[in-house]
Amino acid sequence: MSGYVRELALAAREAQQAIAAAGAARRSAALEAMADRIEADTEAILAANADDLAEADSTGVTAALRDRLRLDPERLRAVADGVRQVAALPDPVGVVTRRETRPNGLVVERQRLPLGLIAMIYEARPNVTADAAALCLRAGNAALLRGGHEARRSNSAIAASLRAALSDAGLPGAAVTVIEDPAREHVLELLSLRELVDLAIPRGGEGLIRFVAEHARVPVVAHYKGVCHLYVDASADPDLALRLLIDGKTTRPGVCNALETLLVHAHCASEFVPLAVAALHARGVEVRACERSRALVEGLVPATEADYAAEFLDRLIALRVIDDLDDAIAHIRNYGSNHTEVIATRDPLAAQRFVDALPSAVVMVNASSRFSDGGELGLGAEIGISTTRLHAYGPMGAEALTIERFVVRGEGQVRHPPGG
């Protein structure tokens, strides 16, 4: 390995100490300055983005990828506003979460500390550069960013604005460091820096996330698939269930908190399945259905095992009629991805059993899966949604970029007093 990323990481780690020491007010001011600077640099950023787009057009990319890559003045304003929202969030650093006095008089506190240096490895969206950097800084961390090759000029231009704003605020620009050289070996080097990188967060397609998990020697919190389920219980209000289905499946099918499978209790299937299929078809959603559903509605495509495990990210849904709550739980345990599950029910005992029996990151009762999002759940912003059951599970906000440590205050207490 060339040592190129190692040098960047060392400088970013050094810079992190200044970010951590700066205190909440200076971090907020720096974040405000970063937002302003992005807007002031609109022309330069859009010019860099135009170059990325031109290259993308010349090599031929999908319309979806091109759209993710593209910035315009409005989108850039939204990026700046996102940074401003992070600037307004409560600063988690130094917050004392618990305090206890021990029988020997020691006062034991738990206090939030920045993680240190956080590496983000992501794909085409250049807005992630600003979003991730802002949330890392809010929690007193430095960010080492490795975006997609297609967006490299846009990412560098955004990072240049962020770094300039940090410098103006008297803080080291190296706290936001972009790995600009696109060589693939640099990702491997990044993932090998065990003493330097405190956390790596991959954000993107399953291929990227598996690559990172496979090669990382640094701690990783990954977001795998969102195979989200809606289970419609026998006691569900059909109107409510239908509302959750439409919101969960059709308002933005390409995101990870969209529904992928609908499970319906046999007792309400003859009423609910035809309603559901009609509503889905009316909104252009293809239904892949189990045998029992196909007995209720003609002309549905049969669902395969693969459909039950699929994250379609598209106008497609799997539909299965199951015998009871236990079968719903067994189905979700078998095919699910531990991301987000929803029960529609009027039975509080069924709701409680559903919550207790499923170890998913987010479990909802009578609410849309689309609320599985840091902003919607009160975190203010999110850097990703963890499906790794360690450190953070579900949407990760600024607090998830800190760790709790122990601060102990005494008056000379010792464990083995002399003569004691």
Q: Which of residues 209-268 bind a second copy (CB under 8 A)?
A: 213-214, 217, 219-221, 237, 239-240, 243-244, 246-247, 251
Taking CA atoms, 378 is separated from 251, 348, 375, 382, 412, in Å, by: 21, 24, 5, 10, 42
Residues between 353 and 392 with contacts to a second copy, criterion CB under 8 A: 355-357, 359-368, 370-372, 376-378, 388-392
- CB–CB of 44/38 below 8 Å? no
Tokens of 146: 């490795």
Q: Residue 211 Cβ, how far from a second copy at the closest point, in Å?
A: 13
How far out from the chain centre does Cα 116 lie? 19
Q: Is 21 in the site for a second copy (CB under 8 A)?
A: yes
Orientation angle between helical segments 266-282 and 238-250, nearest 10 degrees: 40
Q: Is 173 in the site for a second copy (CB under 8 A)?
A: no
The three-state secondary structure class of 225 is coil
Which listed residue (68, 82, 92, 116) binds a second copy by CB under 8 A?
116
Q: Residue 407 Cβ, how far from a second copy at the closest point, in Å?
A: 5
Q: Which is nearer to a second copy, 183 or 210 (CB)?
A: 210
Q: Residue 53 Cβ, how far from a second copy at the closest point, in Å?
A: 29
Residues between 38 and 67 with contacts to a second copy, criterion CB under 8 A: none
Q: How far apart are CA 136 and CA 403, in angstroms?
A: 13
Q: Is 419 in the site for a second copy (CB under 8 A)?
A: no
Q: Is 99 in the site for a second copy (CB under 8 A)?
A: no
Q: Residue 199 Cβ, how far from a second copy at the closest point, in Å?
A: 6
Residue 121's φ and ψ, nearest 5 degrees, are -125, 115
The neighbouring-strand residues paired with 340 are 362
- CB–CB of 82/127 below 8 Å? yes
- Cβ-count burial of 240 within 10 angstroms (0-12 exposed, 13-18 middle, 19+ buried)? middle
Q: Which is nearer to a second copy, 278 or 408 (CB)?
A: 408
Which listed residue (44, 106, 282, 301) binds a second copy by CB under 8 A?
106
Residues between 187 and 206 with contacts to a second copy, criterion CB under 8 A: 194, 198-199
- CB–CB of 207/319 below 8 Å? no
Q: Residue 344 Cβ, how far from a second copy at the closest point, in Å?
A: 8
Tell me which DSSP letter residue 220 carries: B
Tokens of 349: 């005992």
Q: Residue 367 Cβ, how far from a second copy at the closest point, in Å?
A: 3
Please identify, among the stretches 73-81, 99-107, 264-272, 319-327, the one whose residues bind a second copy according to the rule CB under 8 A: 99-107
Q: Residue 363 Cβ, how far from a second copy at the closest point, in Å?
A: 5
- Cα 123-254-386 angle, rounded to 5 deg: 60
Q: Is 407 in the site for a second copy (CB under 8 A)?
A: yes
Q: Which is nearer to a second copy, 86 or 258 (CB)?
A: 258
Q: Judged by CB under 8 A, how many residues of this single chain contact a second copy? A: 71
Q: Which is nearer to a second copy, 45 or 385 (CB)?
A: 385
- Give the closest residue to 303 by CA, choosing from 319, 315, 314: 319
How far out from the chain centre does Cα 238 lie? 31
Q: Is 408 in the site for a second copy (CB under 8 A)?
A: yes
Q: Is 395 in the site for a second copy (CB under 8 A)?
A: yes
